[in-house]
Amino acid sequence: MARPLEITLLRTFVMLVQEQSVTRVARKLNRTQPAISLQVKRLEEAAGRPLFEPDLRHLRLSRHGEMLLPYARTVLRMHEEACLRLAAEEIEGRVTLGCPDLYAAFLLPETLASFRASYPGVEVTVRCALSRQLAQDMTDGVIDIAIATRMPGVAPKVGRGTVLRAEPLVWLGAADGTAHLEDPLPLAMLPDGNLYRDYALAGLNEQGRPWRIACVSESIAGLQAMALADAAIIVLADSVRSTGLVRLGAADGLPTLPSVDLILWERQPGLLQAADYLAAHIARNVSAERSRKRA
């Protein structure tokens, strides 16, 4: 190999695989599309092999690109871990993180555990609420950062937002249950104005299937309890794992649901170092989790 594989070039390479779009990667890195294409060319010259098929408008890895990808991810992870470890002892402070109860159960445990291990001097307080309330809490200065569902017209009046990933929505019901066969269909839903609820009802209405609201709950525990009792079916993110519940779909007479975007809100980027590091940690871990699932 004539030249070393630079970290910057490997990061662009991995982002292209994740985003499947030169335009989106250029936007995220604040670079032009020709600059991204040039980075790909430099990496291929360093590798001595073509890493993508010739047409970058349709991103497909070559055989050598497939070979490099796991190594690139490992190098980036080790590089980031090394940088974080070296800086960890200098970072202190308090951060309030907002997150819907629906996401807290499957996003926060691993993410917060790894953050605490890397930054023992940072005290994190978690505030659970629906996305609409979290937007208001951030506007009011109650929380510093938040993971939320991106919804039209719902955003803090301060700070910035970064889309983390798309999360598919799925129907769930009790294993060996019959609630999905009832007419009208019993539903356990989040309160009015939530995308999970809106997408579910819109899909059923378009399909012409009668439904009724059997339960309204802001908590994932309430929704799961109704589904486990076979008293209703529910809609959750695909990443949620619920023992005793099974996925339902077209074969069960239910419409296919769209995805929602998970978004990271930051109230005052650059002001609190502890908040900036937690936000970066969340963005890295949440995006990486979806990439691992795809792989």
Question: Residue 267 in contact with residue 138, Cβ under 8 Å?
Answer: yes
SS3 at position 246: strand
Low pLDDT (below 70) residues in the chain: 1-2, 56-57, 84-85, 87-89, 288-295
| CATH code of the domain covering residue 80 | 1.10.10.10
- Residues 114, 237: one domain? yes
Q: How many Å separate Cα 213 from the centre of its chain? A: 28
Q: Are 207 and 260 in contact (CB under 8 A)?
A: no
At residue 1, the pLDDT reads 46
Q: Classify residue 2: in a domain, yes or no.
A: no
> CATH no. for residue 223?
3.40.190.290
Give yes or no: residues 202 and 65 share one domain. Answer: no
Q: What is the spatial distance between Cα 3 and Cα 162, in angstroms, rounded to a whole number? A: 34
| CA 101 from centre of chain | 14
With contact defined as beta carbons under 8 Å apart, do 133 and 267 qualify? no
Provide the domain count of the chain.
2
Of the residues 36, 54, 86, which one is the last residue of a structural domain?
A: 86
pLDDT of res. 257: 96
Q: What is the pLDDT of residue 294?
A: 43
Cα–Cα distance, 271 to 160 (Å, whole number): 13
pTM of the model: 0.69
Q: Would you state the pLDDT for residue 285?
A: 84
